[in-house]
Amino acid sequence: MTTRERMGHTLTLLNGMIIGAMIMYVFDGHRGAKRRAYARDKLIHAGHLVGSTIRKRGRDLMHRIVGSVAEIRSSIRDRSSDIPDDILVDRVRSQLGHVVSHPGLLEVGACDGCVSVRGPVLRNEVDKIQNRLAKIRGVRDCRLELEPHADLDHVAGSRGIRRTREAM
């Protein structure tokens, strides 16, 4: 008998011993019923977790699909219609909050689709502002009167405003 065959027989013996021990453990006369109930409860709980996860993922996927369809429909519809200036200002402020570390320092105005943004910003945020404004629906033209700074620690009005991680 070769070493490989001996190893195979040894593994078979060990597997049989492990299976036998598991059967004794589960079908024990004193505590076997409790162990089986515990295993059943764990399996049921795992099934509930899987079902819950599938429902959550499905709901998330549906929301993403509905949102994408709404974005496409509104982008087609908004090209021909005018957006009121107050709504456009709110859209611009909302989007600038994602790319600027101190959005409260900026003044935003709009007139017939022409948006003006003025105020102090960090140097590395000027390009981000321009790119974001170009993507906002309803913005036909933008006028930037930005004051680029290396840091905003010494700018009037910036004290007490929390900075994002990127600006630090």
For 107-132, how does the pLDDT look when each residue is reduced to its tens digit (9 = 90+)? 999 998 899 999 999 999 999 999 99
Per-position DSSP letters for 72-88, written without gaps between them: HHHHHHHTTSPPPHHHH
Mean pLDDT of 66-74: 90
76 or 148: which carries more pLDDT confidence?
148
**Percent of the chain scoring above 70 in pLDDT:** 88
pLDDT of 80 strictly over 70? no
147 forms bridges with which residues in the sheet? 120
Among residues 36, 148, 35, 141, which one has the least CA distance to residue 102?
148
Q: Residues 75-95, buried b or exposed e (16+ Cβ, 10 A)? A: eeeeeeeebebeebeebbeeb
